[in-house]
Structure 1
């Protein structure tokens, strides 16, 4: 990971409440402040990618709604108006400082398909390397609920992993993670440094209380877990704080710094995609011996360790791996179709690992201990 004084690749997530006025319009004052700080990071030599919320919040009034819409068609219509307003404002302000912005609208299906996932990564890398500032948002106009990332906190963490960022900065209307809800408990203490997301931290996570955003503290904790599993340090702080971005990079801002330890799980690009984006298409059941082999000894999974198949899938699909109790222990890219595995069960005596039989799941395509990362399905 890069040092704080070196050039960094930084992903900045900006929440809806950080950009909009009380009336739901884009706040020019708030946007100018944040763009000025993004420019300071760029002038210091950093690469910056922005994951920006605010499309629905910026557009719903111009759609004729008096309050944030609840129906999906109205949300999508509002987003189609608001996204253009956001990009126009970002582009105009950044151009006034000599920087070019680009717009990237994505859906969860863009990440669940490995080819499209790699295409997004290649595009973002070109933009960052050329000094462009990508403005990323979920394509709310066409996305349906079952294909949504859920919130831009999760999206920002996945994008940070995608581009191998050095830092993720999550800006919101809260100034960090507390050990209790500060709105209800005046003795709540800000956690300034966190190296591991413990059950007590997850239990303390509550909603942000914002009327215009969708991501509460729970979503931010899940986002942090994704980033930390990818080896990325994360900062959570209040967007309205003076010089918040620059101070966050220098680790002098008020907020919470989530810093992964060297011995923590650090997934490479392939395993990040498997763990956080792929979406399993079936299940395989494995023996206790195979479970020990792949988890404790970090070996590949061979056909002799598989005794059951649920669902139908093709070779190259991602499948969920279950132990004999039915507990999910990981995800992996399967080298056999479900039909091939079922045929194997019928002729098991003809196959064994020593005969050069291909692994069912290669260790390089296998992610275990998902419960230590994030809930499967994020």
Structure 2
């Protein structure tokens, strides 16, 4: 439990499959109604609320004629195409009964990697939230292939939270928080109520446990929290079946784990979030040791004369990986020249006065461990 110093207005709630399904793997109407009523209570209290909801496959596989939850990709996608409509119909019905309108947003990873679509999503969701609509968000499982998947809705929820500048990310699951060891194996495992940074010890404590109907375990939740914390967003992890869990979570009084950064922690703005977590770097540039010091420690710009080597083909405006002389990645940045222009450096070129990478578009790997997140 913790005391919030900043006012919470905008909340993203991630609801896992296990939080919506019965013991038989189908959508539980009772669970869905309970969560919808809690979301309505948040709306009535003035919170802007977006929901990232799993459960499409669980809602649709019986209607597809499958006895058990499908394992093949075509059957999962077919079940999702049926279940997404059924799930959305249920959400809409429940929220409308309380006077609120729900909207559906289906997203693929490529929607985040394309900067124009990223901006469109940002604008659309802001309009919906500001007008009191409840966006129901899910990955577009029907068309997404493995190499373009988020991997789980924990990651999707964290990226949505950053996209809309949320104040709090709530991850609901079948477990009531992060423990210092696996509680299934160790009856003396201790619940970690407050976490201020994701240390190697915290990551080690995140086992791979997850329910049979979900795609994400504790490791995916910690990865999601890392993304949210980099964007300056606090997170909460708790058990979906706990009474009044959502309202208590925003009030800082719920049982679970709160992930809250220190007040002076540095956070990424929306542009740097896109560069760090969504862009998909298109090439690499190797810079001198002096330039490394200037861009990391002195917050200076990077110029073409600082670049020693260029790898890959890219246009001006692309995001590239920045390497030091030893080949170690030190960050990502938006390059202002194409690879061809960088290879044609002239000492008398007046374009040398323009930064190759401005400090405003540089994100340091040292601070946010980018290789593990991009």
- Do these two structures clear the TM 0.5 threshold for a shared fold by scoring above it? yes
Q: How far is 1:67 from its partner?
A: 2.4
What CA distance in whole angstroms lies between the structure 2 residues aligned with 1:252 and 1:369? 34
Deviations 1:61-91 (A, max 9, x none): 2212232222221111111011111101100
Q: How far is 1:180 from its partner?
A: 0.5
Q: Which residue of 1 aligns with 2:140?
A: 139
What CA distance in whole angstroms lies between the structure 1 residues aligned with 2:185 and 2:4? 38
1:1-378 equivalences in 2 (<5 Å): 6=7, 8-344=9-345, 347=346, 349-351=347-349, 357-369=353-365, 372-378=368-374
| 8 Å contact from structure 2 (residues 158, 228) kept in 1 | yes
TM-score norm. by structure 2 comes to 0.96
Q: How far is 1:208 from its partner?
A: 2.9
Match of 1:154, SS state, is helix
Which is worse superposed, 162-171 or 261-270?
Answer: 261-270
The 3 A distance-change label for structure 1 pair 219 and 272 is same
| 8 Å contact from structure 2 (residues 210, 218) kept in 1 | no
Match of 1:343, SS state, is coil
What CA distance in whole angstroms lies between the structure 1 residues aligned with 2:23 and 2:81? 20
Deviations 1:7-50 (A, max 9, x none): 61000000010011122221100000000000000000110000
What CA distance in whole angstroms lies between the structure 2 residues aligned with 1:48 and 1:3? 18
The 3 A distance-change label for structure 1 pair 313 and 6 is closer
| 8 Å contact from structure 2 (residues 180, 192) kept in 1 | yes
The 3 A distance-change label for structure 1 pair 6 and 335 is closer
**Tell me, which stretches of 5 or more residues in structure 1 are unaligned?**
none
What CA distance in whole angstroms lies between the structure 2 residues aligned with 1:261 and 1:292? 26
| 8 Å contact from structure 2 (residues 331, 370) kept in 1 | no
TM-score norm. by structure 1 comes to 0.95
Q: How far is 1:4 from its partner?
A: 7.4
What CA distance in whole angstroms lies between the structure 2 residues aligned with 1:99 and 1:166? 21
| 8 Å contact from structure 1 (residues 24, 60) kept in 2 | no
What CA distance in whole angstroms lies between the structure 1 residues aligned with 2:173 and 2:236? 11
The 3 A distance-change label for structure 1 pair 250 and 16 is same
Aligned residue pairs, count: 372
Match of 2:24, SS state, is coil
What CA distance in whole angstroms lies between the structure 1 residues aligned with 2:62 and 2:180? 37
Q: How far is 1:374 from its partner?
A: 4.9
| 8 Å contact from structure 1 (residues 294, 301) kept in 2 | yes
| 8 Å contact from structure 1 (residues 11, 156) kept in 2 | yes
What CA distance in whole angstroms lies between the structure 2 residues aligned with 1:88 and 1:29? 15
The 3 A distance-change label for structure 1 pair 287 and 351 is farther
Which is worse superposed, 364-373 or 329-338?
Answer: 364-373
The 3 A distance-change label for structure 1 pair 167 and 158 is same
| 8 Å contact from structure 1 (residues 226, 373) kept in 2 | no
What CA distance in whole angstroms lies between the structure 2 residues aligned with 1:146 and 1:329? 25
Match of 1:61, SS state, is coil
Q: How far is 1:232 from its partner?
A: 0.7
